[in-house]
Structure 1
Amino acid sequence: MESLSFSFFLTTTIKPHPLLSTTKIKRFSCSMKEASAYSYQKFVQFALDQTKLSTSHLIPSYLQDDFSTLKAMDGKTDLKMCSYQAPKIRLLRNLSIEQSDGMQVMDFAVFPEAEFDLPIFCANFFTSANTNIVVLDLNPLHDVINETHYKQKYYKSLIPLGLKYAELLPWGGKLTSESLQFFSPIVIWSKFSSSHEKHDILFSAFKDYYKAWLNLMNQATEETDVSQISLNREAQHRYLTWRAQKDPGYNILKRLIGETLAKDVVKKFLFNGVNELGNKTFLDYFPEYECGDGSINEKRSIVGKSFENRPWDARGVFVDDIFS
């Protein structure tokens, strides 16, 4: 989300060579070979295996034909993508970035069909030789700060799980108030030094959170009210519109693979649906970001308030009144 996506992690890590090399998109499967001790490949494989156990109709997305494997212009960085869909899943997709020096990134997400008000599963992980920066959450489709019903429906039973990992993976520092509207009370936002122990804890958290999401998916019933489906669709479109505009991934990807491919990866793959689920613009949803000349304010935060510590208490109640 905002500055916490994979692309943020790369801003000081990847320095692409200015000379363009041949870039080719190839077919790629999420099934991966054994890799280094800190590889995120097993995370993706676990998610795929568990999803297949929950639905017998997980099939490759049409996006797989256009987004698979890219070689960055620096000749040292690989971008691998895969995508799937299922009856309740509009899109399950992953982007992995691997650099020859051992740096790894995973941007994994699962978006529900509009007939279901399920949260959006989100995992953004970065690892270098010494550092890990992670975000793991079941991003709420609707407001969990002011809408008690939605929070009770999906997060009440998950608060103990969130508290468990809040102890093991402590809060990672300042988080802008704008970002919080897209996070749940169980979000894991953490920074820590690389170690086998921490990596194992993160893998455990990923497995528990993903199984929790699948359990919610299995219990979810299809919405038949047209007005509610429309609300779900707009909520997801609003989320995607924010991510596509404010996530700095575009600038990083532009340096890695060129402007044209970067636009395609951001809007057609990472945040697929921003062009299909609705017609509203970023400023329609977030008019406070409009500049005097009608352009979009590029600042990370215009509210200017950030949270150094976790802003939810042990019951999952938001402890600041900024959104009330």
Structure 2
Amino acid sequence: MAPLLGTVSEVSRVDVPSEFSSVTLADEASELQIENIILQTPQFRKLHLEVARSDAGLQVVHCVMFPRAEFDLPLFSLDMVGFGDRITLLILDLCPVTPDLSLPAAYGPSLESLQRELLAEVPRRGTPDWGKAIFSEHCMLLSPSTSEHVANFIEYVRATLAMHLQHSLSSQPDKELRAQNCAGQKRFCEFQLKNDKTRRILAKSKGEDWANRYMDDILFDMHNIQ
């Protein structure tokens, strides 16, 4: 991801509150370390990368890129989950902000071509109920069974991100899109927050107040949509 972001001008780092930038969650069974980085560009108000690793073998990568609301851009949303030496879940979507969950016309053909080339043999997973209101028809929810599946997915992520960044650089701001795009980003956050598994894990170690602030201020902050 870093080499691709190097092609974008005016990337700046956003300070993450110290209580959230590097977090240790511990219980009697294991210890989980979480690191958070947030960047911004003229086209994206927030590029959030969360990396988590536990001494019991759990590994998580979570990345969401929130466009500024005047740009006609979907939300890049990536999740990778592994345990030990096995990757168990891969999700990548360019989540639409439109009411009908359609993407800008330039995206569909490129995504379909990449999926045929790289992901045709990778086992699919069903869409969870909370995802049906935010994922596009091109969303990839996968259960890889080989290292080749994982390598192909990583190449798909690289190619999709490169395409998305290229579209962002050629996109022109349009204030008339703000209301629709703000509503679409809020919908994305609201339905992501319905997936309560992460909140329960955080609350068990840090308490409900801390978990709510982490979910609402770091992961899916609706109050900063602009």
Report the TM-score range of the alignment, normalised by the length of the smaller protein: 0.7 to 0.9
The counterpart of 1:199, out of the listed 150, 153, 159, is 150
| 1:118 equivalent in alignment to 2:118 | no
Q: How does 1:234-253 map to 2 (within 5 A)?
A: 234-253=183-202
C-alpha contact 2:119 2:152 (8 A) present in aligned 1: no
Higher strand share: 2
Counterpart in 2 of 1:135?
Answer: 91
How many angstroms does 1:201 deviate by? 1.8
Counterpart in 1 of 2:107?
Answer: 154
CA distance in structure 2 between the partners assigned to 1:64 and 1:92 by the alignment: 16
CA distance in structure 2 between the partners assigned to 1:203 and 1:143 by the alignment: 29
Structure 1 alignment gaps of length 5 or more: 1-46, 279-324
SS at match of 2:215: helix
| 1:215 equivalent in alignment to 2:166 | yes
Q: 1:91 to 1:262 in 2, by over 3 A?
A: same
C-alpha contact 2:40 2:47 (8 A) present in aligned 1: yes
Q: 1:198 to 1:153 in 2, by over 3 A?
A: closer
CA distance in structure 1 between the partners assigned to 2:19 and 2:71 by the alignment: 27
C-alpha contact 2:16 2:36 (8 A) present in aligned 1: no
**Structure 1 residues 85-141: Cα deviation after superposition (integer angstroms, max 9, x where no partner):** 111111001111101133200111111001112010011110113442111111111
The aligned amino acid for 1:217 is: S
C-alpha contact 2:75 2:94 (8 A) present in aligned 1: yes
How many angstroms does 1:237 deviate by? 1.3
Q: How does 1:206-285 map to 2 (within 5 A)?
A: 206-225=157-176, 228-272=177-221, 274-277=222-225
Aligned length: 223
CA distance in structure 2 between the partners assigned to 1:105 and 1:125 by the alignment: 6
The counterpart of 1:60, out of the listed 1, 9, 13, is 13
CA distance in structure 2 between the partners assigned to 1:64 and 1:217 by the alignment: 28
CA distance in structure 2 between the partners assigned to 1:124 and 1:48 by the alignment: 17
If the length of structure 1 is used for normalisation, what is the TM-score? 0.63
If the length of structure 2 is used for normalisation, what is the TM-score? 0.88
C-alpha contact 2:96 2:184 (8 A) present in aligned 1: no
SS at match of 2:49: strand
Q: Percent identical across equivalent pairs?
A: 20
Counterpart in 2 of 1:50?
Answer: 4
How many angstroms does 1:205 deviate by? 1.6
The aligned amino acid for 1:188 is: M
**Structure 1 residues 163-182: Cα deviation after superposition (integer angstroms, max 9, x where no partner):** 3334042312x324552331
Counterpart in 1 of 2:58?
Answer: 103
C-alpha contact 1:165 1:188 (8 A) present in aligned 2: no
Structure 2 alignment gaps of length 5 or more: none
The aligned amino acid for 2:114 is: L
CA distance in structure 2 between the partners assigned to 1:247 and 1:159 by the alignment: 31
Q: 1:117 to 1:97 in 2, by over 3 A?
A: same
Runs of 4+ in 1 over 4 A off after TM superposition: none
C-alpha contact 1:144 1:151 (8 A) present in aligned 2: no
| 1:92 equivalent in alignment to 2:47 | yes
CA distance in structure 2 between the partners assigned to 1:247 and 1:79 by the alignment: 18
SS at match of 2:153: helix
How many angstroms does 1:256 deviate by? 3.4
Which deviates more, 135-144 or 155-164? 155-164
C-alpha contact 1:144 1:184 (8 A) present in aligned 2: no
SS at match of 1:169: coil
SS at match of 2:16: helix
